Amino acid sequence: MARSRLRGAGRFRRTLKALPAAISGEIVVELNVTGREVRSLMQAKAPKKTGKLAAGITYRVLPKSLRMQVGLIGSQKQRNDLFYGRIQDLGRKAQVVRVLRRHGTFTHSFNPNGTRKKTLASTYVLRVAAMAPKRFITGRYTDMRASLNANLRGIWTRALSVAAAGGSDE
């Protein structure tokens, strides 16, 4: 497991693991509700040329570590199919690239070892225009963050009062 560079992160993780099951269950429920809301906000801000990108935005709640992931997550194939989502989200610089275009194949009949296929190809230079970032995934979403913090504040207050009493509410 990767180590965090944040001071006190390990102690905080141990505290999260020691939470009573009822409190961590409440946090998971709140993360699920907020995950759906953040996903719908991201889908609303996503480019809608075909709708695939907005449909590819999902969320996941990891109950053991009490983490929530929202964005273009999923299997490797799903992420590969939506590779351009990262470019749309973060933008790109203007650049000049060399492109190799394959036209087709033809066969050599004079090859003594049998026929051999060869690919016809040509190269050309392509100017790629700059694209401004759309920030539909990496945006700040300050209103949603404030809402989540307000909802979790009550849960944390109850959890800390139970922990301070020295018992669990199970």
pLDDT values of the chain reduced to their tens digit, one per residue, 170 residues: 456 677 887 887 777 777 788 888 888 999 999 899 999 999 999 999 999 999 999 999 999 888 899 999 989 998 899 999 999 999 999 999 999 888 776 665 565 666 666 677 889 999 999 999 999 999 888 888 888 888 888 888 887 777 667 655 55
- What is the span of the domain harbouring residue 80? 9-91+136-165
Q: Is 4 a member of any domain? A: no
Same domain, 159 and 147: yes
Q: Is 1 a member of any domain? A: no
pTM: 0.73
Q: Is 2 a member of any domain? A: no
Give the tokens for residue 119. Answer: 């690919």
Q: Is 22 a member of any domain? A: yes
**pLDDT at position 84:** 93
- Residue identified by tokens 């004079």 is 110
- Is residue 125 within 8 A of residue 96, CB to CB? The reply is yes
Q: Return the SS3 of 153.
A: helix
Q: Is 41 a member of any domain? A: yes
CA 15 → CA 8, 22, 52, 57, 151, distances in Å?
11, 15, 40, 31, 20
